Amino acid sequence: MSGNAAPNAAKSQNSILLNAVENASSVFATRNPESQRLFESAQASMPGGNTRSALFFEPFPLYVNESFDARIKDADGHVYLDALGEFTAGLYGHSDPALREAVVQTVNKGVSNGAPGTGETKLASLICDRFPAIETVRFCNSGTEANLYALTLARAATKRSKFVAFSGAYHGGVFNFGKGGAAVNAPYDWTLCQYNEVEQTTATIERLGSELAAVIVEPMLSNGGCIPATRAFLQALRAACDRVGALLIFDEVVTSRMGSGGSHAIMQITPDLVTLGKYLGAGFSFGAFGGRAGIMEQMNPRQSDSLPHAGTFNNNVFTMNVGYVGLSEVFTSERAETLYAGGEGLRKKLNLLAKECSTLVQFTGCGSAMNIHFAAGPITSPEDLISEPGDLFRLFHFDLMERGVYAARRGQINLSLAMNEADFDLIEQSVAKFLERYRDIIRSIAGER
Ligand SMILES: Cc1ncc(COP(=O)(O)O)c(C=O)c1O
């Protein structure tokens, strides 16, 4: 074999992959002329035609103005199984009758009341019952805002200003630690550690010691590729925070859907503060932060030095009333456990398909949220994903859409309560067909032929 054989082989693999992506992209563009037209017209009034980074992809995103049950319908009339599930906020699907009724009742009683209502107390009380680490809670408008408040509370409670977070974590638009961080990140004093890396992280916590206000961690990196934390890692964080007197914040904006009480209940670990978001607003903007009553008490307006917590829509009646019906009548503890088990079962099946295809393919995740990966070996942190070929994710995304399944471009699949067994089967069959269609390309990238 000549010295150039290996680089040449890699080049030709690359061009085969690129050709496949270009083909898939042009099939997508041909199928979706109306989405393309809408995208072009959106560019006149929004930079890049976009107001939410996660929804942009090349050549243009699908435009969706209608949805029902577990389905969305795009502007060109194609109907898809909604496996994106609004990045987990779409837990309830699109037309749950109890939620629709709650919306109608709320409208009928009048909105924008400028006063406390009973909805917020009912939802707060239910959240405190469901999530063991939450003794008292406050509402806000997004997961980003919830994290902003949790970090600020930690700073006030400890009178310290340093924070530990994890590479690849995402705690909101201004707390993005993917790919080295984002230019728009809020100016907090961060030290980043590697996810699931016990020794390095505990050493960092000890080193920061009396300057450390809090450690913030997602029990599963969601944006970072559905990588679950090990219990040993979270336990080590709990112990190290206790040793130095820092707070432990669990960002459960995504993972609160895991079982009845979120990941901290499953792991039986009690963080000091928990942040929530996404599905809990049942389709309306939602954020919440809660935890130890003693820490939350800093926000009690009856105390002279209390921290203010303003926000016109903190208790908006849609979120409060519909969110309450969602959590009390629809996402009951029982259904939460069933959905979790359903997700675990589906991921197992997808991993059997992946294993048959190539060592390069696997699905990571937890319960009803999962992500395909193109990386051999165990995946315990984003550092294990550095050499993933991004074009395979594009192929996967286009291919699933051709088969009538709408997932995230980053390969994330989120299940909803509106899905049934046939929908789970459709996901499984679509993944099987994708792997079959591109098996040779995937295997050649893995060096398996
Ligand atoms: C773990 C996590 N935290 C926080 C957020 C931010 O939530 P929001 O988009 O509601 O601001 C997200 C959103 O994806 C998230 O995944």
295 and 375 co-located in one domain: no
55 and 152 co-located in one domain: no
254 and 295 co-located in one domain: yes
Pairing of strands 64-68, 227-228: unpaired
Last residue of a domain, one of 263, 298, 330: 330
List the domain range (segments joined by +) for residue 69. 15-91+335-446
Q: In whole angstroms, what is the distance from residue 172 CA to residue 169 CA?
A: 9
> Is residue 6 included in any domain, yes or no?
no
> Is residue 8 included in any domain, yes or no?
no
Residues of the chain with pLDDT > 70, as a percent, come to: 98
Asked if residue 2 has pLDDT above 50, the reply is no
> Is residue 343 included in any domain, yes or no?
yes
151 and 300 co-located in one domain: yes
263 and 204 co-located in one domain: yes
150 and 246 co-located in one domain: yes
* pLDDT score at 5: 61
Output the CA angle 82-86-23, nearest 5 degrees.
Answer: 55
> Is residue 2 included in any domain, yes or no?
no
For the entire predicted model, the pTM comes to 0.97
* pLDDT score at 177: 97
Q: Which atom of ligand 1 is nearest to the CA of 169?
A: 1
Asked if residue 8 has pLDDT above 80, the reply is no
Asked if residue 308 has pLDDT above 80, the reply is yes
The tens digit of pLDDT for each residue in 172-192 reads 999 999 987 899 999 999 999
104 and 241 co-located in one domain: yes
> Is residue 266 included in any domain, yes or no?
yes
Q: Is 58 exposed, middle or buried (0-12, 13-18, 19+ CB in 10 A)?
A: exposed
Nearby residues of 71 by Cβ (< 8 Å), 6 or more positions away: 79, 80, 81, 82, 94
> What residue ranges line ligand 1, CB within 6 angstroms?
87, 142-144, 147, 170-172, 218, 222-223, 251, 253-254, 277, 287
Q: Which residue has the CA at smallest separation from atom 8 of ligand 1? A: 143
- Domain with 81 in it: what CATH number? 3.90.1150.10
H or E segment at 86? Answer: none
Positive or negative torsion for Cα 53, 55, 57, 62: negative
Mutate-to-test residue for ligand 1 from 218, 221, 253, 258, highest number of ligand atoms within 8 A of CB: 253
* pLDDT score at 163: 98
275 and 137 co-located in one domain: yes
The tens digit of pLDDT for each residue in 316-328 reads 999 999 999 999 9
* pLDDT score at 287: 98
The tens digit of pLDDT for each residue in 198-220 reads 999 999 999 999 999 999 999 99
Structural tokens at position 87: 């990045």
Q: What is the residue-averaged pLDDT of the chain?
A: 96
Cα dist from 38 to 54, 319, 407, whole Å:
18, 30, 21
Mutate-to-test residue for ligand 1 from 87, 91, 144, 414, highest number of ligand atoms within 8 A of CB: 144
188 and 280 co-located in one domain: yes
If one counts the domains in the chain, the total is 2
408 and 264 co-located in one domain: no
- Domain with 114 in it: what CATH number? 3.40.640.10
> Is residue 4 included in any domain, yes or no?
no
Last residue of a domain, one of 276, 306, 330: 330
The tens digit of pLDDT for each residue in 30-57 reads 999 999 999 999 999 999 999 999 999 9
Last residue of a domain, one of 330, 346, 371: 330
* pLDDT score at 6: 64
234 and 354 co-located in one domain: no
Asked if residue 136 has pLDDT above 50, the reply is yes
The tens digit of pLDDT for each residue in 243-283 reads 999 999 999 999 999 999 999 999 999 999 999 999 999 99
41 and 82 co-located in one domain: yes
Kindly write down the DSSP assignment for every residue of 353-387, as one continuous string.
HHHHH-TTEEEEEETTEEEEEE--S---SGGGGTT
